[in-house]
């Protein structure tokens, strides 16, 4: 088991919207998948959840809105302790975008699909229309409203799935490997959406991911291993820790790996914040003396 990192500062002054205290889960109590999970996530933070396949990442996030029942411990979401009487309230606080957006579609058209979730909130018709207009514009899917979900590309499906969730105005949005089935262009598009959501400051984001660029864009990383939290750290510290990367079955971003290889060959290059920064650093070496 990798020793957990200490001293990661939470967003200054932001209240915790997710708290887990001594939480465990297992289909067989004798062999828990997760045990003694303790964490606190403040409002507005973007958290990447990483780890090898089967380590309990999806299980962890499904405990937050009782899609799976905890075996023991306490979970508090937006000030509400999770229990049978609070499940309905808590589920209105949390939106989830799954790996395969096809699993989320209900309606025969994009418009019907978005309105289905809003009708479940028992909103007035005028409010539903306003939210439909606002979030289709925000996600750039106005032209898709009359289309059947089966007509959409992978990137378009994810935009619709995200718009449907955001229209319900949850404070917490969970992405369960939402980019794993997308091509590179669609992944870049999803990353821009996430960065826009973070810039608004009203969303707390949890993202299960193996993508280095998504991890690097987040504020914080929770690494799961062996049924517990192996590390609670920053993306930068994660990518500097070769042992932790190996445990999580992750690769550092390409600019980081290239910079490391150059350093091993005696070329003094600082770890870059982006690929552009690395290119700018290396460009002077292109000139012969």
Of 52-66, 147-161, 166-180, 260-274, the poorest mean pLDDT is in 260-274
Nearest CA-CA partner of 172 in 106, 237, 91, 98: 91
CB atoms within 10 A of CB 34: 25
Determine the pLDDT at residue 246: 92
* Between 213 and 46, residue with greater pLDDT: 46
Average pLDDT over residues 103-128: 90
Q: Which of 82-91, 110-119, 193-202 comes out lowest in average pLDDT?
A: 193-202
Q: Note the pLDDT tens digit of each residue in 132-146.
A: 999 999 888 999 999
Residue 231: the pLDDT is 95
Closest CA to 208 of 73, 59, 23: 59
Interatomic CA distance for residues 85 and 89, integer angstroms: 8
Q: What is the pLDDT of residue 90?
A: 94
pLDDT of 81: 96
**What was the pLDDT predicted at 2?**
44
Give the mean model confidence (pLDDT) for residues 212-237. 93
User: Reading across the β-sheet that carries 94-97, which strands appear in turn?
Assistant: 94-97, 172-176, 204-208, 46-50, 220-225, 228-233
Farthest CA pair distance, the chain: 74
pLDDT at 287: 62
Residue 6's pLDDT is what? 43
Please determine, for residue 112, whether its predicted confidence score (pLDDT) is greater than 90.
yes
Q: How far apart are CA 7 and CA 193, in angstroms?
A: 30
Residue 279 predicted with pLDDT over 90: no
Higher pLDDT, residue 288 or 225: 225
Arithmetic mean of pLDDT, 216-240:
93
Q: Which residue, 167, 163, 159, 220, is CA-closest to 191?
A: 159
Between 119 and 2, name the one with better pLDDT.
119
Using alpha carbons, select from 1, 75, 65, 63 the residue that is nearest to residue 26. 63
168 C-beta neighbours (distance < 10 Å), count: 18
d(CA 212, CA 236): 11
| Average per-residue pLDDT for the chain | 87
């Amino acid at each position: 088991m990798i020793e957990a990192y200490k001293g990661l500062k939470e967003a200054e002054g932001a209240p915790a919207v997710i708290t887990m205290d001594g939480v465990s889960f297992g289909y067989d109590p004798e062999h828990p998948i997760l045990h003694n999970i303790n964490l606190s996530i403040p409002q507005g933070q973007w958290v990447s959840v990483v780890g090898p396949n089967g380590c309990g990442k999806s299980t962890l996030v499904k405990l937050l809105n009782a899609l799976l029942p905890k075996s023991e411990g306490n979970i508090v979401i937006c000030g509400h302790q999770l229990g049978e009487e609070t499940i309905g309230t808590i589920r209105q606080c949390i939106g989830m975008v799954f790996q395969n957006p096809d699993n989320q579609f209900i309606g025969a058209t994009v418009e019907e699909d978005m309105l289905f979730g809003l009708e479940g909130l028992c909103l007035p018709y005028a409010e539903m229309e306003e939210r439909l207009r606002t979030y289709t514009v925000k996600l750039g899917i106005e032209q898709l409203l009359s289309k059947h979900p089966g007509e959409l590309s992978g990137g378009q499906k994810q935009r619709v799935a995200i718009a449907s969730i955001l229209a319900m105005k949850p404070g917490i949005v969970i992405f369960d490997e939402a980019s794993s089935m997308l091509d590179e262009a669609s992944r870049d598009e999803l990353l821009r959406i996430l960065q826009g959501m973070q810039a608004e400051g009203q969303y707390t984001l949890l993202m299960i991911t193996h993508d280095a660029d998504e991890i690097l864009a987040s504020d914080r990383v929770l690494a799961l291993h062996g049924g517990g939290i192996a590390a609670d750290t920053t993306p930068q510290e994660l990518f500097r820790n070769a042992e932790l990367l190996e445990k999580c079955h992750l690769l550092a971003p390409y600019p980081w790996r290239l910079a490391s290889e150059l350093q091993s060959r005696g070329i003094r290059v600082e770890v870059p914040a982006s690929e552009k920064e690395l290119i700018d650093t290396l460009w002077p070496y292109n000139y012969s003396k």
